[in-house]
Every structure is written in C-alpha cells, then in structure tokens.
Amino acid sequence: NYPNRMLLAEANQWPEDAVAYFGNGDECHMNFHFPLMPRLFMSIRMEDRFPIVDILAQTPPIPDNSQWALFLRNHDELTLEMVTDEERDYMYRSYTQDRAARINLGIRRRLAPLLGNDRKRIELMNGLLLSLPGTPVIYYGDEIGMGDNIFLGDRNGV
C-alpha cells in the first residue's frame, strides 16, 4: 500500500484489453483511454456525437477505485491506431492538409495548431474533455495554446 500515490498506465489498447491494467482495483489506478481521443476530434469536425457515444458504449466497467484518464493531446503523435482505415483517412483529410503533419499512424501537432489556433474550438474541445466521465489530463502548454514547428530539424512537432 502506497498512500498518496497513483499509478497511471499508458496502454494504447482497446478498452476491453486496457481494462486488465486495473486488475480488481489493486493494480493501476488510472489508464489512458486512447481510443476516445481521436473520436473527440472526429465528433467535433463531423458535428456528430456518434464517435464518442460509440466508443464509450464499448468501454467496459472498471473497479470503483479506478478511473480512465482522458486527454486531447500528449507527448506523442495523435495516434490513429485505434480507428478504422476510413476514420483514419477522414482524420488525415480533416486535420493534415500538410502531409508533413503526419507521422507513423498519427498526426504530429499540438492542440492549438491542430485546431487552427481557433480559441473557440480549443475551448469547445476542453469543455468536452471536462464533461466526460474520467479524469482529464491536460498536456503542458495546451492551457496557453502553445504551438509547434514540424519543420524544425530533429523535431517531430510533439
């Protein structure tokens, strides 16, 4: 027992697989909900709640003393590993007009540039994040609209 400590898992997996990291409430306290993140961006762009509602419906219950960690961006690319090929193509069309913004199976942009530096869209996304069941995680710099530069040498923009 480690009072005043919290163990957070970073398992880029489907919810039904990631739930194992919680154990019976005796292992990780929190786990990032990776499949939700790209669906937040899809829902906003599509103006449709379905991507969010659908993935939340696929999310199994977790122990009462556990929590999903919800996020818009993190230190890695906006991963598109947990979406279909069609959804990935939609995200690329919607958020990466410049192919340099793509890396691996994802998008290498911070939140503000990803949303066109549009303060209202950034506020909308954060409001959505804060309204969902789970613990919001805000990546440093996103609270002030920090940008990126994907064209700098030896940088991936994230």
Distances (CA, A) of 74 to 57, 89, 109, 132, 139: 24, 21, 10, 18, 5
Q: What is the pLDDT of residues 26-50, one digit of tens each?
A: 999 999 999 999 999 999 999 999 9
Q: What is the pLDDT of residues 67-122, one digit of tens each?
A: 999 999 998 889 999 999 999 999 999 999 888 888 888 898 999 999 999 999 99
Question: In the prediction, which pLDDT does 98 show?
Answer: 82
The values of phi and psi at residue 106, to 5°, are -165, -165
Q: 73, 110 in Cβ contact below 8 A?
A: yes
Look-up of token digits 């979406």: 83
pTM, two decimals, is: 0.91
How far is Cα 62 from Cα 7, in angstroms, rounded to an integer? 15
Tell me how crowded residue 88 is: count the other CB atoms within 10 A of its CB.
17
Reported confidence tier of residue 149, pLDDT bands at 50, 70, 90:
confident
DSSP bridge partners of 69: 32, 135
Distance (Å, whole) CA 77 – CA 109: 7
| Domains of the chain, first to last | 8-144 (3.20.20.80)
